[in-house]
Amino acid sequence: MEKATTILPGWDVENTDDSAAHVVGDAGLSSGGEQPMDKGKLAIVGIFGVSIGMAVFAWWYRYEQGNQSLAFWGSETAVLINGAQRVELLKLAESTDEPVGESIDIDGRAWNVEQAVDVTQARGMLHARHSLVEDVTFRWDEAVSDNAPAWTYALRFEGNGQTSIVAFDTEQALVHLVGSEQSALIQPDISAGFQRIFDRELSAGESSAAENTLMDAERR
């Protein structure tokens, strides 16, 4: 079976010997054989490029989603809120006399810790804490009311030797970073969501405490 001869534009077939023609023919066949591999390489490069583009877009999108909240909390607190190893729910009551037990100072007012519950793994807490670093959670354009806040709840975030406490006034849909002058309004529906989590977990905590007290009494 004769080899196919590739005729190139401008190639003088009549004045070319067979060996040269064969070389050209072999080169043409070889080049044609490499085309699928070249296409495969281009496809891989294309997929890799798209992946990088998507990663950059995802980073940009997340940055834009949390740009203002990052400035509000500060980078360290924002990271801690989102990834704390332990999250504790505190039920607070304003102290009218000398603080009894653990207390938290918020804007010069002392608040006693009446109850503390570990809510690290509580249902809905992962999404709830993540919402605190999303810009859409906040009402940035609205001024905080002059009404005295009732900081009846707080979340204490702990991890890597750091602690941050976020106080909540769920009636006014207001949050405050304890130890700073930072307060901001959040969306009413999100505030209501936090209230539901707080009610459920504090109720469960009271039941657990009551059971432990009963068990201790039975042991005696």
pTM of the model: 0.68
Q: Maximum CA pair distance of the chain? A: 115
Among the ranges given (52-61, 70-79, 158-167, 182-191), the one the predictor scored with the smallest mean pLDDT: 52-61
pLDDT at 40: 72
pLDDT-derived band of residue 14, with 50, 70 and 90 as boundaries?
A: very low
Assess whether pLDDT exceeds 50 at residue 106.
Answer: yes
Both tokens of 85, joined, read 């190893």
Report the C-alpha gap between 2 and 58 in whole angstroms: 57
CATH T-level assignment (fold) for domain 74-219: Dna Ligase; domain 1 (3.30.1490)
Of 122 and 36, which is predicted with more confidence?
122
pLDDT-derived band of residue 159, with 50, 70 and 90 as boundaries?
A: very high
Alpha helices in 145-187 (DSSP H): none
Share of the chain above pLDDT 70, in %: 65
Assess whether pLDDT exceeds 70 at residue 207.
Answer: no
- Arithmetic mean of pLDDT, 187-200: 98
pLDDT at 35: 60
Q: Return the residue matching tokens 């002059």.
A: 146
> Beta strands 86-94 and 153-159: pairing type?
antiparallel
pLDDT at 180: 96
Chain centroid to CA 123: how far? 17
pLDDT-derived band of residue 75, with 50, 70 and 90 as boundaries?
A: very high
| Contact call for residues 110 and 103 (beta carbons, < 8 A) | yes
Please give the C-alpha separations between residue 166 and each of 18, 38, 137, 147, 188, in angstroms, as whole numbers.
87, 57, 15, 19, 17
Q: Return the residue matching tokens 């304890």.
A: 178
What residue segments make up the domains of the chain, in order of their start? 11-65, 74-219
Q: What is the pLDDT of residues 44-67, one digit of tens each?
A: 766 665 556 444 444 444 545 568
Average pLDDT across the chain, whole number: 79
Assess whether pLDDT exceeds 70 at residue 38.
Answer: yes
- Supply angle C-alpha 133, 136, 140, rounded to 5: 95
- Supply angle C-alpha 31, 35, 36, rounded to 5: 140
